[in-house]
Amino acid sequence: MNTSKIGFIGGGNMASSLINGLCQSGHKPENIWVSDINANVLTTLNSSLNVNTLTDNIELLNNVDVVVLAVKPQVLKQVALTLASALSQKPILVISIAAGISQASLSHWLGESLAIVRCMPNTPALVLTGATALHANSNVTATQRDLAENIMRAVGIALWVEQESALDAVTALSGSGPAYFFLMMEAMENAALSFGLSHDIARLLIQQTALGAAKIALESEESPEQLRFRVTSPGGTTEQAIAAFQQGGFNELVGTALTAAK
């Protein structure tokens, strides 16, 4: 897989993260191509990662085995229509990381016979701890599935869903999820400041606590509920906080919020 030539149309934050992850996981920079309309973006990528950069999307397609569409959703249709003719001549794997753009739309714009994988990554990919869900259309081969998964695993975990509609749930869960945790951290910080803790101490304690809780959850075979019970002593301080959350309808509010996102 590390010998595949990978192209990125769009060199923004998510593409840059993927490229950085690929280079760190053993992909050679000379096998990675990036096109973007912003010359400064290309200069930065070339100088920092030594990858191939250009401004012509068609030239990029001619040099790669797989292309990642990493442009903003609102301009994806325009970009895709300009690629259709070239892709009909060279039907390579297309991976889209644009939120909310269906495979049906992508196939309509790019070509009905193309192998297309739609992905829903999240922003922790920026620090190589992302969570990505993928769905392949019926034209994608087993080898192409492996290639797509290999690319997305460069920035974290990558999981396949059986139905494309599941990506809506993934978007509500892990796609938007980092903001939910930031909101919790923000609320905890405000409470800590009201208790008289300094800003720096409060923030660092909250950040390390969030990191530690996530690490325990990742490394444990127990459910979140079981882990919660382990740190909730009967009659103790944690029990008082949990009771206040539950009396305030915390679980129901989280469900309502994720439903709204979905």
Q: Does 160 share its domain with 212?
A: no
Q: Does 73 share its domain with 192?
A: no
Q: Which of 36, 30, 47 is nearest to 14 (CA)?
A: 36
Residue 144 lies in a domain: yes
Is residue 73 a known part of a binding site?
yes
Task: Count CB atoms within 10 A of the CB of residue 227.
Answer: 14
Is residue 46 a known part of a binding site?
no
CATH classification of the domain holding 70: 3.40.50.720
Q: Which of 18, 244, 11 is nearest to 149 (CA)?
A: 18
Rounded average pLDDT over 49-67 = 95
Q: Does 126 share its domain with 208?
A: no
In whole angstroms, give the CA distance from residue 238 to residue 68: 46
Three-state SS letters, 26-44: CCCHHHEEEECCCHHHHHH
6 touches 152 (CB < 8 A): no
Q: Which of 95, 75, 180, 179 is nearest to 137 (CA)?
A: 95
Residue after which a domain boundary falls, among 144, 170, 196? 170
Q: Does 119 share its domain with 240?
A: no
Is residue 90 a known part of a binding site?
no
Residue after which a domain boundary falls, among 170, 189, 206? 170
Q: Does 134 share its domain with 188?
A: no
Res. 1 pLDDT band, cuts 50 70 90: low
Q: Does 73 share its domain with 185?
A: no
Is residue 12 a known part of a binding site?
yes
Rounded average pLDDT over 123-149 = 95
CATH classification of the domain holding 256: 1.10.3730.10
Res. 260 pLDDT band, cuts 50 70 90: very high
Residue 1 lies in a domain: no
Q: Does 225 share its domain with 111?
A: no
Rounded average pLDDT over 204-212 = 98
Q: The tokens of 32 are what?
A: 């990675």
User: Is 3 a residue whose pLDDT tops 80?
Assistant: no
Is residue 91 a known part of a binding site?
no
Rounded average pLDDT over 166-187 = 96
Q: Does 34 share its domain with 162?
A: yes
Q: Does 35 share its domain with 104?
A: yes
Q: What is the per-residue pLDDT for 109?
A: 97
pLDDT in tens, 17-57: 999 999 988 899 999 999 999 999 999 999 999 999 999 99
Q: Does 67 share its domain with 195?
A: no
Residue 190 lies in a domain: yes
Is residue 13 a known part of a binding site?
yes
The residue segments making up the domain with residue 214 are 177-261
Res. 2 pLDDT band, cuts 50 70 90: low
Looking at the chain, the whole-number percentage of residues with pLDDT higher than 90 is: 93
Q: Does 119 share its domain with 189?
A: no
Count of structural domains, the chain: 2
pLDDT in tens, 212-248: 999 999 999 999 999 999 999 999 999 999 999 999 9
pLDDT in tens, 152-168: 999 999 999 999 999 99
Q: Does 126 share its domain with 255?
A: no
User: Is 123 a residue whose pLDDT tops 70?
Assistant: yes
* Least confident among 13-17, 138-142, 222-226: 13-17
If you average pLDDT over every residue of the chain, what do you get? 95
Q: The tokens of 190 are what?
A: 């405000």
152 touches 93 (CB < 8 A): no
Is residue 9 a known part of a binding site?
yes
Q: Which of 121, 112, 124, 110 is nearest to 181 (CA)?
A: 124
Is residue 10 a known part of a binding site?
yes
Residue after which a domain boundary falls, among 152, 170, 188? 170
117 touches 158 (CB < 8 A): no
Is residue 70 a known part of a binding site?
yes
Q: What is the per-residue pLDDT for 102?
A: 95
